[in-house]
Amino acid sequence: MLIFDNVTFQYEVEDFSIIDHLSFHITEGEFVSIIGPSGCGKSTVFRLVNRLLEPKSGRILVGGKSIDSQKQSFGYMPQQDMLFPWRSVARNVRLPLEIRGGFSNSEMDRRVEQTLTAVGLENWGGKSPKELSGGMRQRAAFARTVLTGSNLLLLDEPFSALDYLTRLTMREWLLKQWERERKTVFFITHDVEEALFLSSRVLAAEGPPITHLRSFEVPAGYPRTTGTLQEPAILSLKEQLIAMLRRDMP
Ligand code: ADP
Ligand code: MG
């Protein structure tokens, strides 16, 4: 679904390549998290996939094709929900359909309605984003991301600004959406527990620079409960990942 082939990227103001000959891949339908210390270059990886940045060398493929040849953007959900305050919730969620084009108004209304219902916001379409709680806003942002029609969802720390209990609820909620939508999810977090709870595989980044990602299969099936995190195999992987991340601290 996603392939990085020897990708190097450098910000102009920096004197080193923050992504340095990086190769990895994600298979269709996987839920893969990337964890790593803050500032190591995780969001940069997403910006490269979304063509907000261009690699200095190497190739990035989505669905077997180079991203250079693709006009479509992939579903991208940043840390801040980025809902437009002057648009109602429904009109925010509808935006990707307007951008994609070719949908009648009634078709757009129908899809928005259906997606809002799926994320538990069926009566909230007419409200302004500021009338929603933080968790509801992230659900609306997720609905908008799904309506991009992309089979690859890039979620960049979507829950990190939420309070602890909302975050726990949103994790369970996201897994339900994933089981229903069957999209490939690439998820950034700095929270080891969150990565273990959600993912089928965890990619651990060290750096900067990011030269490679160490891949760890999460030894648990789905569905998951909070009890999953207490299983011995998960606890031992958690210790291992935390020890790895701490090694990078000054
Ligand atoms: P992460 O998401 O892992 O926290 P980022 O990918 O956002 O890290 O950024 C990694 C590093 O790249 C930052 O520490 C910063 O030094 C540098 N960086 C990020 N954005 C820019 C930019 N627009 N211009 C120059 N340097 C940047
Ligand atoms: Mg980031």
Other CB atoms within 10 A of residue 158 CB: 25
Distance, CA of 209 to CA of 34 (rounded, Å): 15
- Does 44 sit in the ligand 1 pocket, CB within 6 Å? yes
Sort strands 31-35 and 2-9 into parallel, antiparallel or unpaired: unpaired
Structural element, H or E, at residue 152: strand 152-156
pLDDT digits (tens, 9 = 90+) for 147-191: 988 889 999 998 888 888 888 888 888 998 898 878 999 999 989
Q: Is 147 exposed, middle or buried (0-12, 13-18, 19+ CB in 10 A)?
A: buried
Q: Which ligand has the minimum distance to the alpha carbon of residue 42?
A: 1
Q: Which ligand has the minimum distance to the alpha carbon of residue 47?
A: 1
Output the pLDDT for position 140: 93
Output the pLDDT for position 89: 97
Q: Give the position of tokens 């990227």.
A: 9
Kindly calculate the radius of gyration of the chain based on its CA atoms and give it in whole angstroms.
Answer: 18
- Does 45 sit in the ligand 1 pocket, CB within 6 Å? no
Distance, CA of 209 to CA of 217 (rounded, Å): 23
Query: Which residues are in the CB-under-5-Å shell of ion ligand 2?
Result: 43
Q: How far is the CA of 48 from the centre of ligand 2 (A)?
A: 13
Of 9, 13, 14, 245, which is best to mutate to test ligand 1, by the most ligand atoms within 8 angstroms of its C-beta?
14
- Does 19 sit in the ligand 1 pocket, CB within 6 Å? no
Stretches in the chain below the pLDDT threshold 50: none
Q: Which ligand has the minimum distance to the alpha carbon of residue 39?
A: 1
Token pair in block for residue 216? 């760890």
Output the pLDDT for position 38: 86
- Order of strands across the sheet that contains 201-205: 75-77, 152-156, 184-189, 31-35, 201-205, 213-217
Atom of ligand 1 at shortest range from CA of 42: 3
The reported pTM is 0.90
Output the pLDDT for position 248: 63
| Nearest protein Cα to ligand 1, atom 5 | 41
| Nearest protein Cα to ligand 1, atom 26 | 11
Output the pLDDT for position 166: 84
Distance, CA of 182 to CA of 164 (rounded, Å): 27
Contact between residue 85 and residue 125 where contact means Cβ atoms under 8 Å apart: no
pLDDT digits (tens, 9 = 90+) for 105-130: 999 999 999 999 988 899 999 999 99
Output the pLDDT for position 249: 64
Q: List the one residue out of 89, 98, 159, 149 whose CA is nearest residue 124.
A: 89
Contacts of 111 (CB under 8 A, 6+ apart): 94, 97, 103, 147
Output the pLDDT for position 74: 82
Output the pLDDT for position 5: 97
